[in-house]
Amino acid sequence: MSYTSSTVVTDAPLESSSSAVSWGPIIAGTLAATAISLVFILIGSGLGLTMVSPWSGESASLTTLGATAAVWLIVVQWVSAALGGYLTGRLRAKWVGIHTYEVFFRDTAHGFLSWALATVVVAGLLGSALSSVLGTGTQVAATAVGAAGTAGAATAVSANENTGGASGFSPAYFTDALLRPSNPAAAPANQSNEAVSAEVSRVLMNGIVDGKLSADDQTYLEQVVTSRTGLSQADAKARIDAVLTRINDAKTTAQKAADDARKTASAVALFGALSLFVGAFIASVAAAIGGRQRDEDEERMALLQR
């Protein structure tokens, strides 16, 4: 009995040795997108979109400035993404023997990679410029808070400078309360103006933190003001109440400015995230358009040469 062996040869598709990712066009598109982002950011700075006037009443309103910064950020993202994506698609080498759908996918993927790389580069190299745009609302708020909270901030700084303690807590205040004489009206006359001012600052600071002055602190301040200014006790009390009212008003104004800044910064951040998503889409579409135009141009050139 003889056995006959036969060998069956099947044609199996071979995997291409070349990568489907063309890094040359991606890097070229990234460089173009980064450069155009820098140019537009400088233009925005020149137009005052990231600047705040140091003079009172001269700066744009917080809402207007935040909205303008957000719109400009979207413009920068979209224009740079479109340019970078288009160049990425237009400069890539033509893929031969690839289905049309696969070509479209690769083009869009290359545009997305170009956008992603440009975003990372811009965030790393131009972080300070982007922070200036994104943090415009916060910068304006800081200016507003500093102007509105002058009275309360000055009291806090004075207290901290004389005690070395952390903001919001002064151990020296409790020391002052412990060592207060039984006749506070006469004691300040034997103290220097600097010592009295520091002690009064600590009392006011504690009142700011607690939200109000205690009865003992109120009485003590009335006696100190009376002995130092020569006012009657009633006038001293009225002066103290007026100062406390101004401090509370400053706190309220500062809190409102800080809340407006938080809302504006949140809105700018959300608009920035939305612009990034749209920028990724624009870069992908632009790369597909650029790749298709390149293939069509090559096909027309091939027909003309025949």
**pLDDT recorded at residue 150:** 42
Residue 199 in domain = yes
Residue 3 in domain = no
**pLDDT recorded at residue 85:** 94
Instruction: Judge contact between 130 and 80, C-beta under 8 A.
Output: no
79 and 28 part of one domain: yes
**pLDDT recorded at residue 248:** 82
251 and 157 part of one domain: yes
27 and 131 part of one domain: yes
**pLDDT recorded at residue 286:** 93
Give CA–CA dist 202/1, Å, rounded.
Answer: 114
27 and 142 part of one domain: yes
Task: Give the C-alpha distances (Å, rounded to integers) separating 23 from 26, 30, 55, 108, 169.
Answer: 5, 10, 50, 14, 58
Give CA–CA dist 5/7, Å, rounded.
Answer: 7
For the chain, list residues with pLDDT below 50.
Answer: 1-3, 5-10, 12, 51-60, 62, 133, 137-138, 140-168
Specify the pTM: 0.58
Q: Domains in the chain: how many in total?
A: 2
Residue 90's domain spans which residues?
23-50+60-146+263-301
Q: Which of 255, 286, 272 is nearest to 76 (CA)?
A: 272
**pLDDT recorded at residue 187:** 57
